[in-house]
Amino acid sequence: MTRSYSLVLTLCTISVAGCSTFQPAEKAVDAKALEETRAVAGQLATQLGGRLKAELTANGPEAAIPVCKQVAPEIAGKLSAEKNWQVGRVGTRLRNAANAPNNWQQEALKQFSERLAKGEKPDAMEFTQIEKDGGKHYLRYAKAIALQPMCVTCHGAAEAIPEGVRARLKQEYPNDQATGYQPGDLRGAIVIRRPL
């Protein structure tokens, strides 16, 4: 092995080992596609956050529960239809079975948890991966969701959740596991799968 080839191989190994994404050599995510994807993830977060805050302010936490259950999937569905992508949310602990992570989404959540444990801020956490399916390339993208202070009323310690909210959660989500969080904890991710 020549010295220059050995150096290139070493540098490639170091850069792959330090990267939190998987991308086959034949295809990489271009900056424009990544920015478009980030923008759609941002739209979902902004629209959902706005609706949730408005409902909390106007009618309180019990009335805000349907925002996460019904409005969030509507927003994700609208964005999916507009872009012809798959846009959604997944959780680290399930409240809604429709938000159960698949294999690649579980890997993204695992990486986010590890990075959070090392002190990385969740606002900066992204996961990207290129998938080849049927001769076409797709971007798998996840953006970490940290629990916000306003979310503790429904996702905090079970004994601290107000009785009315607990009753509504039990009615809406009889198999709820999504409590016990504190602000800043990893709650889940916005996930997108799109063609490249």
Contact 187/149 with Cβ under 8 angstroms?
no
- Where in the chain are the domains? 29-195
Q: Which residue has the tokens 């956050």?
A: 49
pLDDT (0 to 100) of residue 98:
86
Tell whether the model's pLDDT for residue 22 goes beyond 80.
no
Contact 190/49 with Cβ under 8 angstroms?
no
Apex CA 36: angle with CA 51 and CA 142, to 5°? 70
Q: What is the pLDDT of residues 127-143, one digit of tens each?
A: 999 999 999 999 999 99
From the number of C-beta atoms within 10 Å of its C-beta (0-12, 13-18, 19+), residue 123 rates as exposed
Tell whether the model's pLDDT for residue 37 goes beyond 90.
yes
pTM, two decimal places: 0.84
Q: How far is CA 178 from CA 147, 150, 157, in A?
A: 11, 15, 10
DSSP letter at 96 equals S
Apex CA 148: angle with CA 108 and CA 163, to 5°? 115
* Count of CB atoms situated within 10 Å of the CB of 3: 7
What is the percent of the chain with per-residue pLDDT over 70, rounded to a whole number? 86
pLDDT (0 to 100) of residue 28:
79
